[in-house]
Amino acid sequence: MTQAATAASSPPRPTAAASSDGRLTGSKLGITLAAMCGALMAILDISIVNVALSDIRASFGTPLDQIAWVSTGYMMANIVIIPMTGWFQRRFGFKRYFTFSVVLFTIASALCGLSWNLWSLVMFRVLQGMGGGAIIPTAQSILFARYPREEHGMAGALFGLGAVTGPLLGPTVGGYLINIASWHWIFLINVPVGIAAAALAWKHLDQPGYKAPKERIDKWGIGLLAVGMATLQYVLEEGNREDWWESRTVCILAVIAAIALVTFLVHELETEHPVVDLRVFKNRSYAASTIINFLIGTTLFSSSYLFSLYCGAVMHYAALDIGKVFLAAGIVQLFLMPMIGKFGSRFDPRKLMVFGIVTVSLSMWMTGHLTNQAGFWDLVRPRMIMSIGLGFLFVPLSMVALSDLPLAQRGNATGLFNLTRELGGSIGTAFMSVALDRATKTHALHLRENITPYSQLAVEQLGAIKARFGSQVGDPLAAAYGALQGRVAVQALIRAFNDGFLTVAVVFFASLGLILLLKRPGMGIKIEGAH
């Protein structure tokens, strides 16, 4: 048996969290508000910036190939910190670590709003990403630690409100703030929210019996993880813009990411005090739930990316109008999530997840049949169905994944759980970006092959367009050919979008097979809301 296998089969090593029961005390309401404000703020900031990139570019006079660093810098820092949060929670305790993360995020947000050029903004976005990456999984851990096991459904629902609605509301909030003020306010709006979250956390969070661990710091693990995740995120974020494997930089960083992450996995299985305890994946339900969570991230972020582009490129919606579509569709979750958290225990969570997967897949199938003749509610309807499906999916998934884990493992497990959703989003968006470009070119080529003097449909279309131009142009036939080529380009783009949505639908529907690997948590336990 290898060292790695031996390590993997050995019992979990003691952690700091195990030195006490790890339970949090203090006002449940105060802690809940602190966690929800922090999580929503951090998650919202992932998507809110996207609608402001054009305004930021115009403000700084930034070249098109550099503006993406505003998003890339944040996500690189975000995705490096997330898997380390379990270790930081053990090292510093929930109160100090969560409050520090919120304060860091708040200060960085203020600096982003006051930035004077592109690279100052990118630097402050990296700091913001470090705080945001810590806030998201720590907020989830705090809710599960403060709520008793029989109320974990509500804890998952409260966190889910931020995790799921954040990407949906980001374009709306961002578009509105830019419309009434300027792009600076998409960052400055975080300041009062962050101050409130930090104050609530410092006042109400209490972890009796907490003792800082005396374990050795896993410097190699931290270093390998930071290098591996940062380079991987760069490849995913910038690959398409740099033409993937045609770029020497992308190729080199992809190799570095692979070597660093493989070395990290081997090291973590062999070291005595790992920064990320991978043995949590021995829990079958957690492992299967993590894969489903990865596919949720893929579906949620890639579909939001495609849908925003569709509304802009095909429907010619402005940023604020796109935001209104997302808002109308996502508002249902504000009512659905708490209801599922309170009453979901009356049903097998696996059945709720089946309903959620089928519903989300149906919404993607509906979106995959949209045309450029779609009205506002034609766009809202499938997104609303998706919101309903995610509500029925996210809450029971969190319960199945985390409720049956030992308390000492939950901090580490929540970090990895959230990491998979972020990775799924990055990989899914990168893949769809490439697929959309290639599908558009393929469909355009196929459609243009049918524009010949021998095609009756093409002749009829040209005749109708030519007749509309009449004597208004010097060469009506040439103008008709140009107009017909424009129609072909639009049709090719629509077909490419449809292919993307249908691909997401099929992939996500296939995740139904993973439900068979899940065990029902807490048989007979009643899940009630917060009180």
Pick the more confident residue, 390 or 162: 390
Q: How far apart are CA 521 and CA 344, in angstroms?
A: 12
pLDDT score for 301: 81
Highest mean pLDDT among 64-68, 93-97, 393-397: 93-97
Q: What angle do CA 231, 41, 317 make, to 5 degrees?
A: 85
pLDDT at 477: 53
Look at residue 296 and tell me if it is in a domain.
yes
Give the CATH number, domain containing residue 431: 1.20.1250.20
Domain residue limits at 248: 216-272
pLDDT value for 215:
66
More confident residue, 366 or 466: 366
In a domain, 447, yes or no: no
What is the number of domains present in the chain?
2
- What are the pLDDT digits (tens) for 424-467? 887 888 788 788 888 888 888 877 766 655 555 555 555 555 55
Q: Which residue, 272, 295, 319, sits at the end of a domain?
A: 272
Confidence of residue 20 (pLDDT cuts 50, 70, 90): very low
pLDDT of 455 = 57
**Same domain? 368 vs 508:** yes
Cβ atoms of residues 288 and 482 within 8 Å: no
**pLDDT given at position 367:** 92
Write the pLDDT tens digit of every residue in 194-205: 999 999 989 888
114 and 256 both lie in a single domain = no
Residue-wise pLDDT tens digits, 220-234: 888 888 888 888 878
Contact indicator for 388, 336 with CB cutoff of 8 Å? yes
Q: How confident is the model at residue 2 (pLDDT cuts 50, 70, 90)?
A: very low
* Same structural domain, 406 and 277: yes
Per-residue model confidence (pLDDT) at position 360: 93
Same domain, 356 and 336: yes
Check whether residue 133 and residue 243 sit in a common domain: no
136 located within any domain: yes
Per-residue pLDDT tens digits for 504-515: 999 999 989 888
Rounded CA gap, 291 and 276, in Å?
18
% of the chain exceeding 70 in pLDDT? 81
Is the per-residue pLDDT at 236 higher than 90?
Answer: no
Together in a domain, 325 and 238: no
- In the prediction, which pLDDT does 233 show? 77
Is 458 among the domain residues? no
> What is the per-residue pLDDT for 468?
61
Kindly state the tokens that stand for 380.
């809202």
Cβ atoms of residues 489 and 446 within 8 Å? no
Residues 184 and 230 in one domain: no
Q: What are the tokens at 33?
A: 């508000």
Instruction: For 39-76, write each residue's pLDDT tens digit.
Output: 888 878 777 787 777 788 888 877 766 777 787 788 87
pLDDT at residue 529 in the model: 31
- Considering only CA atoms, give the Rg of the chain: 25
Give the contacts of 203 (CB within 8 A, at least 6 positions apart): 30
The answer to whether residues 150 and 168 belong to one domain is yes
Q: Find the helix or strand (DSSP H, E) in which 210 lies.
A: none
Most confident of 230-239, 382-391, 425-434: 382-391
- pLDDT value for 245: 76
Other CB atoms closer than 10 Å to residue 204's CB: what's the count?
Answer: 20
In a domain, 471, yes or no: no
Is there a single domain that holds both residue 264 and residue 306?
no
Residue 528 lies in a domain: no
Q: How confident is the model at residue 10 (pLDDT cuts 50, 70, 90)?
A: very low
User: Which pLDDT value is given to residue 452?
Assistant: 55
- With pLDDT > 90 as the criterion, what percentage of the chain qualifies? 13
The 10s digit of each residue's pLDDT in 202-219 is: 988 887 777 766 767 778
**CA distance readout (Å), 5 to 201, 220, 225, 406, 514:** 41, 20, 21, 22, 25
The better pLDDT of the pair 466, 269 is held by 269
Question: Does 221 reside within a domain?
Answer: yes
Residues 146 and 292 occupy one common structural domain: yes
Same domain, 153 and 295: yes
How confident is the model at residue 238, as a pLDDT?
Answer: 74
- pLDDT band at 484, cuts 50/70/90? low
Q: Residue 124 pLDDT > 90, yes or no?
A: yes
Whether 84 maps to a domain, the answer reads yes
Check if the beta carbon of residue 174 is closer than 8 Å to that of residue 51: yes
Nearest Cα residue to 96 out of 20, 187, 24: 24
At residue 363 the predicted structure's pLDDT band, cuts being 50, 70 and 90, is very high
Q: What is the pLDDT of residue 524?
A: 37
Task: Clarify whether residues 295 and 401 are in a common domain.
Answer: yes
CB 294 within 8 A of CB 510: no
What pLDDT score does 503 carry?
92
Higher-pLDDT residue of 153 and 312 is 312
Q: Is the pLDDT of residue 184 over 60?
A: yes
